[in-house]
Amino acid sequence: MHPIKSASISDLITKQITGELSAQEIADFFIAEVEAQDKHIQAFSWFSTENVRYQAKLLDEQRLNGEPIGPLHGIPVGLKDIINTASIPTENGSHIDAGRVPTDDAEVVRKLRTAGAIIFGKTRTTPFAFLTPCETRNPNNLKRTPGGSSSGSAAAVAAGMLPLALGTQTGGSIIRPASFCGVHAIKPSFDLIPREGVLLQSWTLDTIGIFARSTNDLSWCLSAISNTKVEQQASIRQLRLGVIEPPHYDRASRTMKIAMKQLATELGDQAIRLDLPELFQSAPRAREIINFAEMAICYERYIAKHESELPIEVRSAIAQGEKLKALEYLMALSHRDLLNSALSPLFEQVDALLMPAAIGEAPGLDTTGDAIFNGIWTLCGTPVINLPMFQGDSGLPMGLQIICPRGEDAKLLQVARQIEQWIKTPPTA
């Protein structure tokens, strides 16, 4: 394997500091990967080799001039095509916004630039970050979906065309694609990463997250772009893990259920079986009510001018949102608060909860897959990680979803590290 492809983000930074690598060499490696693969995968909606090389050249000049190096210096990052980028198209995955070029960067893009990252390209999203599939293919099997709506970000990292990419999640748009494509991903605590300058679908749910090649790379990037610094946490002694079966667990594939049972066995005394309180059964509907109601307001301008051009899935969601009563919306918000209160006793018993990241392997290209196992945690605002731990009957990846209390993102990352290490080298008695 090429040393750049296998290197961690921290290794790539160190090698630039020592002069072993330049930002231009890193950029050229990933440019070659895009040129070789993206005609098949179609992960990028916008990509310019000239733009990437220009950024890399400037970063090398800054380093050689003795200027301070940021935590993401020379690291290529892909951005979901709903995240505004100054002078670069941001088209929200739709012909309706074709040619739209923002005048300002989103706040998270400003943070990336300050950290020294290379804005490598815009990754494909489903239209308006909703359910209609886009052109992107799953790198593991081109006849399968990469998931959505952060389709291109997940696929690009999985294919090795990027070391890092940003996506967003309103239902399951980070964790599900990560599971289908077999990459690490984090949906952080709600509002940990600034959302200004990102297409707004739901002010209560929208969350920016990260796709990467490892847990350590997720941690490194999150620390660089979050509103609150996420410090690395020390190893947790006597780690306690709760294995749960979420609402609608009957939808999980046989292989996924077997994988979860085997994982619980491998974890031994560290894992206990926990049951979610009954009120979690109505969490998917509460999330849907909030999503549709707020979507009807956020996308009002598209309904006013382009209703007939919108995908049927978007029109249907907006129509349902317009029919909702204020009381239904307020009750859904209240239900979210009840869910978070009900989680507290569970997290007094364990450090983290474990469950499938998706119901199984990636399905075909006519869907982005089922997000039923993800929306609960988007609603609660809790941080969640996908670890690519399992394999399905077709040999495609399936993910483990790890959940920690809201605000405990550093703990979540440490739990993920320890689980990965435990599975690789379980301690002897």
pLDDT tens string 10-36: 999 999 999 999 999 999 999 999 999
Question: Is 429's pLDDT higher than 80?
Answer: no
50 & 196 share domain: yes
287 & 274 share domain: no
220 in a structural domain: yes
Lowest mean pLDDT of 110-119, 184-193, 226-235, 362-371, name the range: 226-235
375 & 256 share domain: yes
| Encoded amino acid at 333, one letter | L
Residue 200 and residue 208: Cα distance in Å, rounded?
Answer: 11
41 & 150 share domain: yes
44 & 179 share domain: yes
Note the pLDDT of residue 232: 83
CB 164 within 8 A of CB 210: yes
42 in a structural domain: yes
Looking at the DSSP assignment, which residues form a beta bridge with residue 391?
397
381 & 347 share domain: yes
270 in a structural domain: yes
Note the pLDDT of residue 425: 62
Q: What is the pTM of this model?
A: 0.98
233 in a structural domain: no
Residue 133 and residue 139: Cα distance in Å, rounded?
Answer: 15
Measured CA angle at 418 (ends 255, 187), to 5 deg? 70
Note the pLDDT of residue 340: 98
* Distance, C-alpha 102 to centroid of its chain: 23
235 in a structural domain: no
What does each C-alpha distance from 201 to 41, 197, 302, 404 come to in angstroms?
A: 27, 12, 12, 25
94 in a structural domain: yes
Structural domain of 309: 283-328
At 243 the three-state DSSP class reads strand
261 & 135 share domain: no
291 & 322 share domain: yes
What does each C-alpha distance from 328 to 42, 236, 277, 290, 321 come to in angstroms?
A: 40, 41, 21, 9, 10
Residues 6 or more apart whose CB falls under 8 angstroms from that of 36 comprise none
Bridge-based pairing state of the strands 397-403 and 384-391: antiparallel
Mean pLDDT of 245-264: 98
291 & 176 share domain: no
Question: Is 287's pLDDT higher than 50?
Answer: yes
At 238 the three-state DSSP class reads coil
**Domain end: 182, 201, 225, which one?**
225
Domain count for the chain, please give it.
3
Split at pLDDT 50, 70, 90, the class of 428 is very low
144 & 213 share domain: yes
Q: Report residue 281 as tokens.
A: 């059964």
**Domain end: 270, 299, 328, which one?**
328
Note the pLDDT of residue 224: 97
What does each C-alpha distance from 374 to 68, 170, 215, 220 come to in angstroms?
A: 40, 9, 19, 24
Split at pLDDT 50, 70, 90, the class of 359 is very high
Q: Report residue 414 as tokens.
A: 């440490």
Measured CA angle at 97 (ends 366, 104), to 5 deg? 125
Question: Is 427's pLDDT higher than 70?
Answer: no
Report the share of the chain in percent with pLDDT over 70.
99
353 & 218 share domain: no
DSSP-assigned letter for residue 362: -
31 in a structural domain: yes
Backbone angles phi, psi at 332, to 5 degrees: -65, -40
Q: 180, 195, 159: which is closest to 80 by C-alpha?
A: 195
CB 352 within 8 A of CB 403: yes
24 & 161 share domain: yes
Note the pLDDT of residue 288: 99
Q: Tokens 């892909």, residue?
A: 78
DSSP-assigned letter for residue 250: G
| Encoded amino acid at 376, one letter | I
CB 106 within 8 A of CB 115: no
Residue-wise pLDDT tens digits, 299-328? 999 999 999 999 999 999 999 999 999 999
377 in a structural domain: yes
Arithmetic mean of pLDDT over the chain: 97
Q: Report residue 115 as tokens.
A: 């950290």
Split at pLDDT 50, 70, 90, the class of 115 is very high
Residue-wise pLDDT tens digits, 147-174? 999 999 999 999 999 999 999 999 999 9
Note the pLDDT of residue 57: 99
| Encoded amino acid at 411, one letter | K
Residue 182 and residue 197: Cα distance in Å, rounded?
Answer: 29
Active site residues: 80, 149, 173
**Domain end: 266, 295, 328, which one?**
328
Mean pLDDT of 86-110: 99
Question: Is 279's pLDDT higher than 60?
Answer: yes
CATH number at residue 169: 3.90.1300.10
